[in-house]
Amino acid sequence: MNHFKTMLAIGTLIATASAALGQSRGSFQVTDGYSALTIIENSALSYTVSLGANPMVRVAGIDYAITTCFGMWSLSNDDNFASATGSNFGVWNFHRNSSGSGDIVGWKTNPNSGILPNASETFVYSALSSSQRERFGFHISTAVRVPGQQGLTFFSNGPFIPTPASASLVFGGLLAAARRRRP
């Protein structure tokens, strides 16, 4: 009987430690949207995450006030970021988790030392195949618990939004295609 209790205690300890190391791709939920949380692509490897004055996340039509962003991730549903690398800096630790289906790669910190409202942080990958990224994900804390979440939340945004320069190229291409169709 003591052997069983010891094995149960070890199993509980391993499960707790695993949960603290990072989340899997499956733990992220898609939001209805964010307000005052932005991500800007500075280059193919550099991204700045900012929280405005009153950042919110919308889930099932309800807005929840974001108190801190303590994780920034590139997410893939089915690919593996095999070559993705980055470095720890300040309070931020680089982390990758390819357990289960998909992959996450990015940075995390203690929920009490993340990005606060009216602040930003720049994250730079040493290497990343951005063609494999399908979304960005954020670990956030909210002022009120989001239903179905156990305290801290893990949400992904919609599909990757191109930079203003690449968005103008896409818009220009659509405009040119529309002009060609005119009689």
**pLDDT per residue as tens digits for the range 4-59:** 333 333 333 233 333 333 467 777 888 888 999 999 999 989 999 999 999 999 98
- pLDDT at res. 158: 57
Cα–Cα distances in angstroms (integers) from residue 6 to residues 14, 15, 77, in the given order:
12, 14, 37
With 70 as the cut, is the pLDDT of residue 178 above it?
A: no
Residue 13 lies in a domain: no
Residue 62 lies in a domain: yes
- What number is the average pLDDT over the span 96-109? 84
Residue 169 lies in a domain: no
Residue 175 lies in a domain: no
pTM across the whole model: 0.72
Residue 81 lies in a domain: yes
Residue 177 lies in a domain: no
Residue 172 lies in a domain: no
Tell me how many domains the chain contains. Answer: 1
Range of the domain at 134: 29-161
